[in-house]
Amino acid sequence: AEQVDKMIAQIAVSSQQQTSTASHSSSSLHSIYQLGSENLTAMSNSVTSAELLSNSAQDLKKQIEKFRLDATDRNFSSYMPPTQQEVGQWGMATPMLAAE
């Protein structure tokens, strides 16, 4: 009977250790799940931000291309100096032209 009591006690101790280990494992798995979920959210936000940045870059490129001049377009022979009214609006004496 004493040997049976010892075995029951060992089984109870082992059961408590397994319960503790299972609880710790469950807690660790929950932490891993939370980190994965946070990582997924951050990654999704990064992808969205990258797409917005790409779209902005494309829009900016299109805007810049409107101002680009080809060598054949550099005919400034029809250049007229600004009027006094334009000078007042721009706040400068004459507009600057790029040197060729």
Residue 28's pLDDT is 96
Segment-wise mean pLDDT, segments of 10 residues, the chain, 100 residues: 93 95 96 97 96 94 76 57 71 50
Q: For the full predicted model, state whether its pTM sits above 0.85.
A: no
What are the tokens at 58?
Answer: 């494309």
Radius of gyration of the chain (CA): 38
Q: To which residue do tokens 């990582």 refer? A: 39
What pLDDT is stored for residue 72 in this prediction? 56
Angle at the Cα of 36 from the Cα atoms of 32 and 39, rounded to 5 degrees = 140
Instruction: State residue 66's pLDDT score.
Output: 78
pLDDT of residue 98: 47
Would you give the end-to-end CA distance of the chain in angstroms? Answer: 108
